Structure formats: structure tokens, C-alpha cells
Amino acid sequence: MPDASTLPASSSPAPRIAVVTGAKGGLGSAIVRELESTGRFAKVFAPGRSDLDVTAADSVARFFGELDRIDLLVNNAGLTRDVPIARMAEDQWDKVIDGNLRGAFLCSRAALKLMIRQRSGLIVNIGSFSALRPPPGQAAYAAAKAGLIGLTQSLAEEAGKRNVRVNCVLPGFLEGTGMTRDLPADVIELARQSHVLGRFNTPVEAARFVAFLDTLEAVSGQVFQLDSRLRRW
């Protein structure tokens, strides 16, 4: 759990703090490493599920309640259960919606209380191209990620006057992660052909963009698609 007493003392400016949820996967861990490498943060928290269950309001309140400030929240936690709607059980739907959308809402709400008090901060929601053009079997995942775009833009409207920025990043297919390892080779090749550069991003490249957003103080409410597909809808 975070312990503010271990953070380095500083008068001005205050030591900057980042929190990355879902940091155990390929993209999440790359984001943590990239943020740490920038030198812009005194501490980058990457809580595991035992420290932060993003779907449980009490767990979220407890984790963020121990922070004195937060300058960057990356809502990266998520999951998918690819099942056609006709065969999808309600608990399968609920788990996907909770893991991708409820978790982002709970963490954003908790972080926002600190950011409003500071009158500064950035929330980055990690979305998916499935929100724009969902494949068969991903109705729950696509609905959750589309909701995440709506959450991003609505929250940006609400928080902008308090100097809090909110953006959404669609990282696309990422080499070396489950999304490319677990799909059939012909599906991956077809997806690669839809990119005008003929290649996918890597987790490191996507992480660099997330870190770059931290430097853009006049950008909020935007959805960034990190690939070379020309079609969105």
C-alpha cells in the first residue's frame, strides 16, 4: 500500500505521483517503466489486485485515501471474455463491464478529488479500437470501451475548469502481448495488412505516448488511436 511518509520531502514543487492500474501486463508494465524513466515522478505506484481491486469501491477508497496527491492516473486495468451475446451469461457481461468501465469510474472519481484540490492532474484511460469497430463476440468489451470514451469526454468537460485533463488512448494491436500471441496467424496477418505501415506498435511505443501526454498541458477530452489504420468507423 502507498505510504506517503516514504516519499522524498520537497517544498516546491510537490513531488509528483503517478498510479497505473493493471500494471502487471505487457502494456501496463511498460507504462510504469517509461514513467519512471522520465524522472518527472517521485513515485509511480503499480498496485496489484491485493492492494487495489478497481471494481470494489471500498478498496479504491482505501488505496487513494492513503495518497496525499496524485498527478497522473492511468486506467489500464481491463479484461475481455469473447462470447457471442446469445450465449453470454449475465455474470460474464458484468465482469467485463466492471473490469473495464466501473473500475475506471471508481478510480477516476477517487483521483479527481485529489486533483481538484491540487487544481492539476491528468487521467489517461486506456481504450480499444473495438470501441469503434467491434469484432464478433466482443459486445461486452466493445460496450465497455465505448463507454470509456464517453466517460473520458464527459469528465474532461467537468474537470477542465479545475485544470484537470482527461484523455483516452487506443493502443491498437501490440506486438509480443496476448492480443497478438493468442490470435490465429491468419487473423493477425489480415489485421497487419489493414495498417498502412504494415506493422503494429510495441508496448514500449504505446507507453512512450502515454508518458508524452503528461507533457501536453493544453490537451484534454481527446481520443488517440495509436496505429496506422485509416478507417475508424
Task: Tell which wins on pLDDT, 99 or 13.
Answer: 99
Residue 29: inside a domain, yes or no?
yes
**Strand positions, DSSP E, the chain:** 17-20, 43-45, 72-75, 121-126, 164-170, 223-225
Residue 40: inside a domain, yes or no?
yes
Annotated catalytic residue 152: no
Nearest to 207 by CA among 34, 56, 78, 26: 34
121 backbone dihedrals φ, ψ, rounded to 5°? 150, 165
- Of the residues 63, 129, 141, 173, only one is catalytic, namely 141
Residue 233: inside a domain, yes or no?
no
Note the pLDDT tens digit of each residue in 188-202. Answer: 888 888 888 888 889
Grid coordinates in use for 2? 502507498
Residue 152: the pLDDT is 99
Per the CB < 8 A criterion, the answer to whether 22 and 77 are in contact is: yes
Residue 63: inside a domain, yes or no?
yes
Length of the chain: 233
CA distance 11 to 13: 6
CA distance 136 to 82: 8
Structural domain span for residue 190: 14-225
Residue 51: inside a domain, yes or no?
yes
Residue 39: inside a domain, yes or no?
yes
CA distance 112 to 104: 12
CA distance 76 to 163: 22
CA distance 160 to 155: 8
Tell me how many domains the chain contains: 1
Note the pLDDT tens digit of each residue in 197-228. Answer: 888 889 999 999 999 999 999 999 999 999 87
Q: Which residues contact 66 (CB under 8 A, 6 or more apart)?
A: 1, 2, 3, 4
Residue 1: inside a domain, yes or no?
no
Whether 8 shows a pLDDT value over 50: the answer reads no
Residue 3: inside a domain, yes or no?
no
pTM for the model: 0.89
Least confident of 11-25, 134-148, 176-190: 176-190
Whether 33 shows a pLDDT value over 80: the answer reads yes
Q: How far apart, in Å, are the Cα atoms of 26 and each of 70, 83, 190?
A: 23, 24, 23
CATH (domain of 192): 3.40.50.720
**How many other C-beta atoms can be found within 10 angstroms of the C-beta atom of residue 13?**
8
Residue 1: the pLDDT is 57
Residue 75: the pLDDT is 99
CA distance 165 to 55: 23
DSSP state of 133: S
Note the pLDDT tens digit of each residue in 144-156. Answer: 999 999 999 999 9
